[in-house]
Amino acid sequence: MIRKLLFIFIFFVLIFTIIYGSDNMNKNIVKISEDFYAVKNFGGNVAFLIAEDGVVVVDAGTSLSAGKKIVNIIKEKTDKPIKYVIVTHYHNDHILGLDAFPEDIKVISSEKTKENIENISVKQKRENTEKRYPEYIESIKTKLANMENTESKEYEEMEKQLKETEEFFKEYKNTDIVIPNETFKNKKVIKLRNETFEIIQYPNTHTSGISIVYFKKRKVLHTSDLIFNNMYPYIDSERGGNTENWIKALDEISKMDINTVIPGHGDIENNKNSLNRQREYFKTMRRNIQEYINNNAELEEIKENLKIPEYSNYGKERFYKLGIETIYEELKNR
Ligand SMILES: [Zn+2]
């Protein structure tokens, strides 16, 4: 239950940093090379390549309005139609924007991701719409009503949270979950007139069914959520997320011929450093947690005592602790 609540919480945090942190459009668009762009701050990082035959997009943003903004950015750069959207995995911050895209496009994902969208995202939306969000909104209202000092900073923040949640919920209710219409099992190579790109699944890493997208000629890799660049990574262990597999995947990926890495979250870099840092993060965390386990430490003790200064500026402490919890469970249960 706690895990579930945390997940929803993370989901909220992602949503809100995104929509409200993105007023200055130009700040969100990163030119990778000729006719190739990344779009940041609308959920998971989006990339689009304007090929001769049409536009190829990786991921679709975190909400209907994020999706609309992404489509507009693409339209500003080219008259060519959007041809493909590749969906890397089922998490809301990568798929909800799909509803804003034209209907006649190919939406490509791994079979497992399609299955996850059908089974998890659709169900989650129903539950969130009918129950979780209304309850969550009610709980904020109750808290507000019980606060004595309506001039306090806390009250102000709570009011803001309520407003943002209500706004998000209004849109979320009316967003259709788009199901991919073309799937592959492990890997798919798409050859366009002048470009080739590969979609490669690395299952049970960040989550099940997740894929990366490699733009061969450009030597650019969109890693999706296999990289949270300089941030605490989220491990979706309830859906197959596993750090041992994740490290192995990063080992393999780092052998690829890459000049630029677009992570799922965080900054784009023209080197492989983010790949290596992500791998080191998991290795360090696993090594440290294993040491505590070997000394018969309890989870709470580890969460209290394990501090790694290198990662102290990676974000909110509760995400760090959630990571410890997940890795602890993984190491304990193997
Ligand atoms: Zn994700």
Q: Does some domain include residue 299?
A: yes
Give domain status of residue 249, yes or no: yes
Cα-to-centroid distance, 153 and ligand 1 (Å): 32
Query: What is the Å distance from ligand 1's center to 254 Cα?
Result: 20
Q: What are phi and psi of 223, to 5 degrees?
A: -85, -5
Whether 192 and 283 share a structural domain = yes
Domain membership of residue 323 (yes or no) is yes
95 and 234 share a domain?
yes
Same-domain check for residues 166 and 198: no
Q: If the chain, 334 residues long, is cut into consecutive pieces of 10 residues, what is the mean pLDDT of each piece?
A: 51 48 75 97 96 96 95 97 98 97 97 97 93 93 92 92 91 96 98 94 98 97 98 96 98 98 97 98 98 97 96 94 97 92
In a domain, 265, yes or no: yes
Query: Are the C-beta atoms of residues 265 and 44 closer than 8 Å to each other?
Result: yes
> What pLDDT is recorded for position 210?
98
161 and 309 in a single domain? The answer is no
303 and 318, same domain (yes or no): yes
Span from the CA of 141 to the centroid of ligand 1 (angstroms): 30
Could you give the CA distance from residue 222 to residue 308 in angstroms, rounded to a whole number? 28
| Same-domain status, 95 and 142 | no
Say yes or no: 23 and 108 in one domain: yes
Q: What is the DSSP string of 145-206?
A: HH-S-TTSHHHHHHHHHHHHHHHHHHHHHTPPPPPPSEEESSEEEEE-SS-EEEEEE--SSS
How far is ligand 1, taken at its centre, from the CA of residue 150, in Å? 37
pLDDT of residue 24: 67
CATH number for position 293 = 3.60.15.10
Per the domain annotation, does 82 fall within a domain?
A: yes
Question: Which of 153, 174, 195 delimits the end of a domain?
Answer: 174
* Boundary-marking domain end, from 127, 157, 174: 174
- Say if 231 falls within a structural domain: yes
Number of independent structural domains in the chain: 2
Q: How far is the CA of 218 from the centre of ligand 1 (A)?
A: 25
- Looking at the domain assignment, is residue 11 inside a domain? no
Expressed in angstroms and rounded, the spacing between residue 99 Cα and the centre of ligand 1 is 18
Are residues 36 and 72 both part of a single domain?
yes
For residues 67 and 217, give the distance between their C-alpha atoms in angstroms, rounded to a whole number: 27
Encoding tokens for residue 16? 């809100």
Give dist(CA 174, CA 121) in Å, integer: 14
Are 51 and 37 in a shared domain? yes
Determine the distance separating the centroid of ligand 1 and the alpha carbon of 249, expressed in angstroms.
Answer: 16
pLDDT of residue 5: 53
Looking at the structure, do residues 169 and 235 belong to the same domain, yes or no? no
Question: From the CA of 88, how far away is ligand 1's center (Å)?
Answer: 9
34 and 133 belong to one structural domain:
no
Query: What per-residue confidence (pLDDT) applies to 25?
Result: 73
285 and 237 housed in the same domain? yes
Per-residue pLDDT at 123:
94
Distance separating alpha carbons of residues 249 and 243, to the nearest angstrom: 10
Give the distance (Å) from ligand 1 centre to CA of residue 72.
Answer: 24
> Ligand 1 mean position to 95 CA, how many Å?
10
Q: Is residue 194 part of a domain?
A: yes
User: Of 152, 174, 196, which residue is a domain's last?
Assistant: 174
What's the 148 CA to ligand 1 centre distance in angstroms? Answer: 39
Residue 163 sits in which domain range? 113-174
Q: What is the pLDDT of residue 302?
A: 98
